[in-house]
Amino acid sequence: MSNEAPILEVRNLQMYFPLETGLWSRIAGSKRVVKALDGVNLSVMEGETLGVVGESGCGKSTLARCIVRMYEPTGGEVLYRGKNVLKFGPKEMKEYRRKVQMIFQDPYSSLDPRTTIRNMLSEVLHLHRITSSKQQLEEKMEGLMISVGLDPAQLGRFPHEFSGGQRQRLCVARALAVEPELIIADESVSALDVSIQAQTLNLFEELQKKLGLTMVFISHDLSVVEHISTRVAVMYLGKAVEVSESTELFEDPEHPYTQALISAVPVPDPDVKTNEIILKGDVPTAANIPPGCRFHPRCQSAMPVCSEVEPVLLESRKDHLVACHLIHPVEAPPKPVAPQQVK
């Protein structure tokens, strides 16, 4: 691990949703929960793009929502520049809102259909007192439109007058209006056509370089994540199972789950023989997580110990973390990754 302090750190984050909310379960005292996040540890370095991949239902989106405090996590910590976000008061929270922004999946529902783009942007700029004069406001809004590749003359329009790709650009413009340090993109290109996806990804990359942004890029699509990320975290059933530098992860994955995911990516060359690893069974639900290693029922190389002892996310090489008994035999005393993870 590098020595700089991370901009964002997630420690042992837990998000349990009650499964039954009805009157009956309150009377009967049912305690069944869905463990959407079950002890996630991750850190995001300044200026990097961290890709988060996993199948649907693995808790990627819940992670995003916990980081921005749309959900109140049931356990663990979210540290922003070393301060626990979950303990922020209203004033610090407002400051945090400026620093961290999110881009959503569906560009059609993420813009208010009854507000013009001008009103949308000017309200945001006004709220955080980013511009002080009318002229400055107008210049800033035009600048935002240009920076996301849209015509400033269209500021007076309503969202329905734009296409899907253009709307996603508008969402980016809105997020950039508060001059954030960290942007969380939650499946932000998944709803777009493939050709538009590439354009939008390029826009993200370019903006990131130009503005020195840090990004967390969440997607189920490995090729998208490979394209944009500097580092990648693989999630499975509410936990990070492998975290590594992007090229290394895609070329030499260590966790059997990561290996299976990568082997399933189609290669656009008929001559290349792929050894696709077919996973057994379905993804267990987050309401019913298997004991021991949560991946063991589907794992090709599962050992007896895998169904008993839960593996810990440990460094296997420099800056490469993996949670698997194959890599870290369970007899060896586990070495903690970072001193702060030990209580």
Contact pick of 113, 268, 329, 333 for other proteins (by CB under 8 A): 113
Contact pick of 36, 40, 79, 171 for other proteins (by CB under 8 A): 171
Q: In angstroms, rounded to a whole number, what is the distance separating the alpha carbons of residues 77 and 341?
A: 11
Q: Is 94 in the site for other proteins (CB under 8 A)?
A: yes
β-bridge mates for residue 317, sequence order: 320
Least distance from other proteins to the Cβ atom of residue 227, Å = 14
Least distance from other proteins to the Cβ atom of residue 36, Å = 17
User: What phi, psi does 39 have (nearest 5°)?
Assistant: 85, 65
Binding footprint of other proteins, residue count (CB under 8 A): 46
Interstrand relation of 314-317 and 33-44 (parallel, antiparallel or unpaired): unpaired
Least distance from other proteins to the Cβ atom of residue 45, Å = 22
* Two tokens, residue 49: 């793009």
Q: In angstroms, rounded to a whole number, what is the distance separating the alpha carbons of residues 293 and 308?
A: 7
Count CB neighbours of 191 within 10 A. Answer: 18
Q: Is 188 in the site for other proteins (CB under 8 A)?
A: no
Where are the strands (E) in the chain, listed by range? 8-18, 33-44, 49-53, 75-80, 83-84, 100-103, 182-186, 214-219, 231-236, 239-245, 314-317, 320-322
Q: Is 115 in the site for other proteins (CB under 8 A)?
A: yes
DSSP 157: S
* Two tokens, residue 34: 């869905």
Q: In angstroms, rounded to a whole number, what is the distance separating the alpha carbons of residues 170 and 152?
A: 11
Q: Is 193 in the site for other proteins (CB under 8 A)?
A: no
Closest CA to 45 of 189, 314, 205, 229: 229
Which residue's CB is nearer to other proteins, number 178 or number 283? Answer: 178
Least distance from other proteins to the Cβ atom of residue 97, Å = 4
Q: Is 137 in the site for other proteins (CB under 8 A)?
A: no
Q: Is 112 in the site for other proteins (CB under 8 A)?
A: yes
- Span 33-92, contacts to other proteins by CB under 8 A: 68, 70
Residues at the interface with other proteins (CB under 8 A): 22-24, 68, 70, 94, 97-98, 100-102, 104-106, 109-115, 123-124, 127-128, 146-147, 149-151, 153-154, 157, 161-163, 165-166, 169, 171, 174, 178, 199, 202-203, 206
